[in-house]
Structure 1
Amino acid sequence: MMMTSRSLAVVLTVATLMAAPDIAAAQPAAPPVAPGTAPASAADATKRAEALVDKAKSLYLEGKYHEAEEALRVAWELNPTFDVAYNLGNTEYQLKKHKEAATYLSFALRHWPLLKGVAKLKPNAEKWLAESRAHVGALKVSVTVAGAEVLVDGKGVGRAPLEGEVFVDPGEHRVEATHLDYEPASQTVGVAKGGTAEVKLAITPVKAAPQASVGVKTEGGANGSFAGAGGPAVAQPLAPVEPPPGKNWVPVIALGAASVVGLGVGIGTTVASNNASGDAHTQSTAIIEAGAQCVRPEASWVGPCEKVRSDASRADTLGNVARVAYIASGVLAIGAVTYALWPKSKRTEPTLVLPVVHSSGAGLAVMGAW
């Protein structure tokens, strides 16, 4: 997990600021974007989160835990890293919100970095988690199909496989698993304070609806009959079936080849984006281990900090290019399949299926006569 130097600095300097909601394996939704504005980049979201953590630090030190909690929850939505979870878990712990404290603190401990500077804070998180855990119950949920949505008491907590336990209030809870291609499954379990309940949900594929049988007229009998449980029947075809008209396969080949090219571009830019992100992470870690930071860097660290920002921006740009390439590849593939399966019209006008890709999305343009 990549961690900014600013948010790490907050953890190191605010050892008393920290406790947690039902996040399990789910990632929080991005904050809404005002109409007419572009969505914030990853770098912008990180900066906003850092500012909110600074604000929460001041509020916490003033004893305004509720206001600090509100700021940290927004910071978590913008930048869900271990240090934000640690601070938020501590704050929830101070508010005696044990379920939320256990959730965020367990996340922080699962993603704790191997850095000497934060090792001394880990016992705090373990102590707060143990105390909060004693007041709530925990559910260990497993589902037979990956990607199924898991709900506890009707509230989504993530998709299978969940990363950790789901912390709940003591008592009975209904756990469900749903998937578009599978029948849903559910189980009601009871869990005691400080206890753990294991829930295993097996979901099965949705069965196709049976097709209505067609009656077949049989030989024999004055009035005739329909085949049933009796002897063999001789089928009487109602009408001859015309063979399907020929199809021009050149567009299918062209669209398929273009789809492969788009996929290759997507993979290449994804690799480049990951490399840039890795460079930014390596440089950021080096700065942190050297005891510096990039919010107000000293003169000797201005260059390295600019390199971190440049690599992060490049990774974001390449990631966007990769997404457009994957979308274009998918659209071209859909165009090829659509053209291949589309029945040819008996009229003389041709049917054209053309991909349309632009900066805000992609689609297909179908032209012809029906």
Structure 2
Amino acid sequence: MRCAPQFLSILLAVGASTCLTSPARAQGGPSTTRSREHATVKDHVRRGQRARAAGQWTEAHAAYKAAFDAADPESTTERDRAEIAGELGLCELALGKYRDAAEHLAWSLEQREALPAALQKRFEEGQRKATPHVAKLRVSVDPPDAEVFVDGKAVGRIARVYTLFVEPGLHMVRARAPGGEDAFQSVRAVAKAEHELSLHVSRAPVSSAEEGAPLSPNETPRPLRAPAAAQARPASPWASWPGTARIGGIAVTTATAAAGSVFLLRAHVVHGDLRERDVTLRAQGWTSHTCREASAPASCAGIRDQVNERDLFATLGKVSLATSAVFGVATAASFFTEVAFFGGTPRATGVRLVPVTTNERAGVLLEGAW
């Protein structure tokens, strides 16, 4: 019986030590994870510094990009993030990626108070070198929760005023908000210039107070009524003809261009046969007046048929290419004149074709629901 108190005291001591050590381990988990992430960011930065010192800008860019993506407010300081963004921008400047360089250097210099004077000077010098190659867009959006896209690519953050850098050329800026129609605006960006854009996304009409009021327990829910404007305006049978006409125009343009190429190729082949035949006949003593004489050989009829065939295919090829050019220009012009002829912004439903051109590529952005 005298051993029972000692055994009980041993059990209490073991339980107390377990309770004390378990919370300590639980509290040490997140801090250990943060320190590991911070060490990873530092490893990327050290790798970027070694590559930059060796003049290996591609490797340095990859390392600083990995550090920039891994850095977050919980594991790094504001100075760390600003310095990483600035070094990433300098690597992009050395690689000729001027738009990305201007964007990351501008982001870094927004936290210039956290940077030493020497780093501020380096990043400002890099920003001055990148700016002449890009254009700056200041886009104001209403409402502020609208999502902004540039050439179909989301900007990735929400703000009322955006400061964006783009390559010189034609760009399409779009704003989208829940429950509203998209707002579009195209801009021809000029290097070293700053462009002001304003996009307003119109909200969908809200239901009346009566329709939005809560129902009583015994009241039967009523179906929502469509807006008065939608009820009063019936759907027009011509509402979808621009898109259909454009599809037809693209089809005709493609078909006539292909046919014209085939016709001209055939005319070229026949012309080559005639030249070879001419060389052979001249070697046999023929002249350019042989087939014009009264006693012309019978083979002259075949030569005339080949000449007529060549001229026919050449004419058909030229007419087909001219037709293709006309339909192509008319179809392309319809994209730029839709707003002028039909008013407002492009329709929010259906399929939209938006022309997009940059200094590197040109094409058509197809979007919508189908």
TM-score, length-normalised on structure 2?
Answer: 0.44
Structure with more contact order per residue of length (Cα contacts < 8 Å, sep ≥ 6): 1
Structure with bigger gyration radius: 2
- Larger helix proportion of the pair: 2
